[in-house]
Amino acid sequence: MLRFTAFACLFVLAIAAPFDMALDDDWEMYKRVHDKAYDSAGEETYRRGVWEKNLDIIKRHNLEESLGVHTYTLGMNKYGDLTTDEFVSTMNGYRAEWGTSKKNVVYTNVNVKDLPDTVDWRPKGYVTGVKDQKQCGSCWAFSTTGSLEGQMFNKTGMLVSLSEQNLVDCSRKEGNMGCQGGLMDDAFQYVIDNGGLDTEDCYPYKAVQGTCMYKSSCNSADVVKFNDIPTGNEMALQQAVATVGPVSVAIDAALSSFHMYHSGVYDDSMCRSDRQHLDHGVLAVGYGTMDGKDYWLVKNSWGMSWGDQGYIMMSRNKNNQCGIATAASYPTV
């Protein structure tokens, strides 16, 4: 059951404009569906106000989408009672400012004409089910395990869910900070330094940082090196996704339109591509074109109730929108 910390500004919202009473039943259903419980009446008042504002954003956007203004829809999800700032500070744990320079850049001559028009690694067995990082900024760990799971499947023919908690608890020496954020390259480096990574079954996820409990007997992965895609090069990223498998990518996921994405090809001109604005680690598992719009097929780690069953189609070939090719990498096993 989710519980949230009270905020000093609760009393301000408590005396704000009255709620829409017609939404009372909807609010009760929202709490019930997403198992919401609040510590006080004041906190619930605050959350109700945030929820109504987000609901209004969703309705307005979807009306515009029906008129052809947008290529994607929004939808209410379990994060609908969080403000944008709260969401970013809690869920978006990629820390671009910690990175320095690319160490293992893969330079290739890319000819996209030689690549398939559509790629989806899920039916080929490379991708585990959608996971949920919960209220912990560990997206970097989920992105890391996602690309590593794919490469281990390619090597062994077995798809094994790997432990994000192992990375959260144990990779501080490499520069990661558990629920306070990290980098996929630093996580790959940990697996190299440690000589392996445990399975999810052996080292389950707890959504908090704890004492390192790695067990070599549970090791089910190895990394020889990690490979960085040339910064900002979507063609190079396409080649990697097409020929290697799922690739770890960092994106700007700070916009409310991303937080409430539901379906379609996500395309927001306010999304930034420069390194300092990257704040979320995800997994590119394929690409394609829908209704004339090129997209990247991206697996998120916010549970299946977010987006399109936990996935999002993000704009492709639109000047590296959201920075999807700015800090992409994958391991060699």
Could you write out the three-class secondary structure of the chain? CECCCCCCCHHHHHCCCCCCHHHHHHHHHHHHHCCECCCCHHHHHHHHHHHHHHHHHHHHHHHHHHCCCCCEEECCCCCCCCCHHHHHHHHCCECHHHCCCCCCECCCCCCHHHCCCCEECCCCCCCCCCCECCCCCCHHHHHHHHHHHHHHHHHHCCCCCECHHHHHHHCCCCCCCHHHCECHHHHHHHHHHHCCCEECCCCCCCCCCCCCCCCHHHECCCCCEEEECCCCCHHHHHHHHHHCCCEEEEECCCCHHHHCEEEEEECCCCCCCCHHHCCEEEEEEEEEEECCEEEEEEECCECCCCCECCEEEEECCCCCHHHCCCCCEEEEC
CB atoms within 10 A of CB 28: 11
Q: CA-to-CA distance for 305 and 288, rounded, in angstroms?
A: 23
Q: Of 139, 170, 271, 322, which residue is the catalytic one?
A: 139
Query: Catalytic annotation on 139?
Result: yes
Q: Report the first-to-last Cα separation within the chain, whole angstroms.
A: 38
Closest-CA residue to 317 (of 306, 325, 309, 305): 325
Q: Of 170, 280, 320, 322, which residue is the catalytic one?
A: 280
Q: Of 179, 300, 320, 322, which residue is the catalytic one?
A: 300
Q: CA-to-CA distance for 5 and 38, rounded, in angstroms?
A: 9
Closest-CA residue to 240 (of 139, 140, 332): 332
Query: Catalytic annotation on 280?
Result: yes
Query: Catalytic annotation on 322?
Result: no
Residues tagged active-site = 139, 280, 300
